[in-house]
Structure 1
Amino acid sequence: MVKKGDKIKVHYHGKLSNGETFDSSEGREPLEFEVGSGMVIPGFDEGVTGMTVGEKKTITIPFAEAYGPVNPDMVVDMPKDRFPPEMELAIGMPLVMSDQNGQQFQVTVTEIKEDSILLDANHPLAGKDLTFDLELVEISGGSPLIIMP
């Protein structure tokens, strides 16, 4: 059974509450990670804990245990004159911005107004409950339960 510290491989199919797929390992190698190490969202770690190899199950992760709520402070109304005039902007377009410290982050164009562009720096899955169909493929590594003298 999967426990914290185990390295596992899992196939997954991630869906939003409306049934739309946002990610899947189909046609790729299974996702490999160490349980409890912070490599995946907390609800995913909790969802695989206790599974056995070959087991399939569906988990639902509330947004608070996934990518958190949408933060309105991360939505910025940027004047159009801050963009190159030849740049063709479209709703849903990802862009990379830099803050005053030179740190880069991704934003998404969410609205094009007459004089400004609305940019959202929230994770695209923020505020969304996620459902995953899981299949545990392998458990490897991890610490042994019994240590031989």
Structure 2
Amino acid sequence: MSDTVIDANSEVLMHFDLKLEDGSAADSTRVNKKPAKLVMGDGSLTPNFEACLLGLAEGDKKSFTLAPEDAFGQPNPDNIHHMDRTRFSSDMAISEGMIMGFGQPDGREIPGIIRSVAGDSVTVDFNHPLAGQTVIFDVEILSVSKPSA
């Protein structure tokens, strides 16, 4: 056991379970038995998630309930786009609830959720799937270290 506590420069290896208020699982590192590794401040977690981890030490288990504003934010209507069906491959089956990757000009791909298909119009929601949700963040800290310079 190290006595290192998580601070703004820590590298953290942890298991986490992300659940919705109704108890349904949204994400978990335990499913594949692969803990998450992150460097505080690297942008992989929101500042609010990181704030929950500060001060925890190896072996700690803690549960946090985060309001939508502290987790993935509220859905932004500007992130909902209506696209012409011709922008999708004609042999592609598109259905409501489907999550697809959309290429960006810079080469990155962002996920979009198909919200509706009506004739030649496809409504795609680029908000985070958990936007607007209160989430419960259960963490188990496996190790805390300082990244080697």
Tell whether the structures are fold-level matches, with TM greater than 0.5. yes
Q: Structure 1 CA distance, aligned partners of 2:38 and 2:87? A: 41
Identity of aligned residues (%): 29
TM-score, normalised relative to structure 1 = 0.81
For residue 118 of structure 2, what is the aligned residue in structure 1?
A: 113
For residue 85 of structure 2, what is the aligned residue in structure 1?
A: 80
For residue 14 of structure 2, what is the aligned residue in structure 1?
A: 10
TM-score, normalised relative to structure 2 = 0.81
Greater than 6 Å deviation, 4+ residue runs:
100-103
Unaligned runs of at least 5 residues, structure 2: none
2:111 counterpart letter in structure 1: Q
Secondary structure of the equivalent of 1:45? helix
Superposed CA RMSD? 2.3
Secondary structure of the equivalent of 2:91? coil
Cα offset, 1:80, TM superposition:
3.0
Q: Structure 1 CA distance, aligned partners of 2:25 and 2:134? A: 12
Alignment counterpart, residue 144 of structure 2, candidates 110, 134, 139? 139
Contact persistence 1:42–1:66 (CA under 8 A): no
Residues 46, 115 of structure 1: alpha-carbon distance in 2 compared, 3 angstrom cutoff:
same
Q: Structure 2 CA distance, aligned partners of 1:10 and 1:140? A: 12
Number of paired residues?
143
Contact persistence 1:5–1:37 (CA under 8 A): no
Cα offset, 1:121, TM superposition:
1.2
Unaligned runs of at least 5 residues, structure 1: 144-149
